[in-house]
């Protein structure tokens, strides 16, 4: 059992489903992988083969996408795991943004760094995002 949705609807759907979960999710909680059942699916709309690929670059859940119709087939157990991944990533981004703002405030308070710290924050931002992404894999 599952549902076929448009690719453009996927992230708004997950965002809406995880509003409360983002506030409480434990960033260190291990997420169990979902056994893949979808390899070789045919798109219900156009009857072409769907591509089976990992969601968010992890091997925790694999989804099936028809790039011709821009549709995604989601099994019911996949949606739950995708919601956990989405919420955890959103929470990590919130944590990082707050930590970045706090660090910037600290750097601005250091004499002689006030004018130079804004440019370096952008570089630090990308480095930390890479660290966050590595924790998801």
pLDDT by 10s per residue, the chain, length 137 = 789 999 999 999 999 989 888 888 888 888 899 988 767 889 999 999 999 999 988 889 999 999 999 999 998 889 989 999 999 888 888 888 888 778 877 777 777 766 665 556 555 655 665 555 555 54
Backbone angles phi, psi at 135, to 5 degrees: -75, -25
pLDDT at 100: 79
Domain count for the chain: 1
What is the domain extent for residue 6? 2-136
pLDDT at 137: 44
pTM: 0.68
The two three-digit tokens of residue 131, written as one number = 């660290």
């Amino acid at each position: 059992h599952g549902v076929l949705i448009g690719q453009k609807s996927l992230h708004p759907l997950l965002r809406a489903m995880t509003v409360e979960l983002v506030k409480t999710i434990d960033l260190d909680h291990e997420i169990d992988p979902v056994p893949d059942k979808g390899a070789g699916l045919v798109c219900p709309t156009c009857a072409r083969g769907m591509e089976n690929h990992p969601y968010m670059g992890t091997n925790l859940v694999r989804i099936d996408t028809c790039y011709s119709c821009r549709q995604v087939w989601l099994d019911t157990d996949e949606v739950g795991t995708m919601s956990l991944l989405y919420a955890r990533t959103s929470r990590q981004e919130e944590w990082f943004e707050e930590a970045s703002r706090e660090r910037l405030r600290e750097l601005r308070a250091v004499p002689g760094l006030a004018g130079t710290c804004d440019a370096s924050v952008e570089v630090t931002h990308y480095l930390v995002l890479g660290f966050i992404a590595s924790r998801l894999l």
